[in-house]
Structure 1
Amino acid sequence: MPRQVDHVQRRSEISAALWQVVSESGLEGLTLRSVAATAGCTTGMVTHYFRDKKALLAHARSVMHRRMADRIDAMPLRHSDPRAHLYAVAEQALPLDEERHLEAVVWSSFLLTTRTDQELLREHSVSHASWVRRLTTLVRAALPGEPEPGNLEERVRALVVCLDGLALNAVTDPDAYPPDLQRRVLERQLDLILEGNRTL
């Protein structure tokens, strides 16, 4: 009788191998063959779950998004200090340690690929919209006790641009954008967007 294959487990093993390849060789080394070698299986087995390199990259992006979401969801709620909670969540998007640096590398590479691939662009748009909604909720909660500013969306977008810009620059030139500088810039950006109803 043929042995039953646990497809969820097998996909998880290949996913772990994919992330290991990226961590050791970067996205340049991400191929069906390298993932198969790391997972200890055939290339055919990998293509059973991921048809090509684009599918591998999309999955790496999905894993990155899930890892970040898991970290945020594991945080204790800070209702007494909404600004601190906003900062803690926003900080998860910055490459402040080895794990988040790797995630930023995957994210930036995926972002470039979306310029010429509509399918990947749609995936990016969905996850990006989810991130913006999360930040909007947190920014709204952290604003001073006054009527919601009419430019709330602009404030949230300014925060998103700040985080994306810091991540891209820190990946490209980490010596010029060390973690302590990233944290100071984020603090300054929060000061700007949480100034009540005054214009940015």
Structure 2
Amino acid sequence: MPRQVDQAERREVMSEAVWRVVSERGLERLTLRAVAAAAGCTTGMVTHYFRDKKALLTHARSVMHRRMADRIDALPAHGTARDMLHSVAEQALPLDAERRLETVVWAHFQLSTRIDPDLLHQHTVSHAFWVRRLTGLVRDALPGPEPQDLEWRVQILVACLDGLAINAVTDPGAYPPELQRQVLATQLDLILQPSEGTRAS
């Protein structure tokens, strides 16, 4: 009896093919034919699951965000609140081959949102979820009562992670994994300082 095709698995394979094409050739050269070649299937097979390039791109982006969320959910819950914040924030840095690929593709997707309202909406939703997750972790890791500038501190962390990730894939020799971790640790020291009103005199 022939093996039943797992449609979710087939879609995921095609999404991974999208990432490879975008990473190697850029978003402007992403075509259904190129994705089919990278996935080892026919163009007709791709169009069977995705009606057009837009649908393929949207699904590939959602899979990328889901995988990152799955990695975070699988992190062991031990150590201090700061340790957990550090571990979660690291998932946004290109510290290994999987995350380097994700960062390159994410950068291409970011640029595409400027001219595509649907992709912009998808980005806005996923980014808001990421900010909420970090906000909770920063709140837990801060000493004393919640500061009035909590939102500002999280914005600084997000900007640091985004800029560090882009620089690390653009010039990996200048931003090796150990340096990325050191920069993150330094940034956490800065944003987790107690507010002036809560510091001991």
TM-score > 0.5, shorter chain as reference: yes
Q: 2:31: which partner in 1?
A: 31
Distance 1:12 1:61, change over 3 A: closer
Structure 1: segments with no counterpart, 5+ residues: none
Partner of 1:88: 87
Q: Which residue in the other structure is 2:181 paired with?
A: 183
Consecutive aligned runs of 4 or more in structure 1 exceeding 4 Å deviation = 3-6, 19-23
26-35 or 128-137, which deviates more: 26-35
Q: 1:54 Cα deviation (Å)?
A: 3.1
Change (3 A) 1:54 1:142: same
Deviation per CA, 1:40-75: give whole Å up to 9, x if none. 432122123223333333222222211111111111
Does the CA contact (< 8 Å) of 2:94 and 2:103 recur in 1?
yes
Query: Could you tell me the TM-score, scaled by structure 2's length?
Result: 0.86
- Kindly indicate whether the alpha-carbon contact (under 8 Å) linking 1:64 and 1:106 is maintained by their aligned counterparts in 2: no
1:170 maps to a residue whose letter is A
- 2:195 match: 197
Task: Determine the structure 1 residue equivalent to 2:171.
Answer: 173
Deviation at 1:37, TM superposition (A): 2.5
CA distance in structure 1 between the partners assigned to 2:53 and 2:82 by the alignment: 40
The yes-or-no answer on 1:128 pairing with 2:130 is: no
Specify the alignment match of 2:41 in structure 1. Answer: 41
SS at the partner of 1:195? coil
Q: Look up the match of 1:117.
A: 116
Secondary structure of the structure 1 residue equivalent to 2:75: coil
Contact 2:103-2:169 at 8 Å conserved across structures: yes
Over the residues paired in the alignment, what is the CA RMSD in angstroms? 2.2
Gaps of 5+ in 2: none
Three-state SS of the structure 1 residue aligned to 2:14 is helix
Question: Residues 114-158 of structure 1, C-alpha deviation per residue, up to 9 Å, x if partnerless?
Answer: 0111110000000000000000010000011x2210000000010
Offset at residue 19 of structure 1 (A): 4.3
Secondary structure, in 3 states, of the residue corresponding to 1:33? Answer: helix
Equivalent in the alignment of 1:58: 58
Q: CA separation in 1, counterparts of 2:6 and 2:72?
A: 30
How far 1:9 moved relative to its partner? 4.2
Q: Aligned partners of 1:98, 1:5: CA distance in 2, in Å? A: 29
State the Cα distance separating 1:20 from its structure 2 match: 5.0
Helix, strand or coil: the match of 1:115?
coil
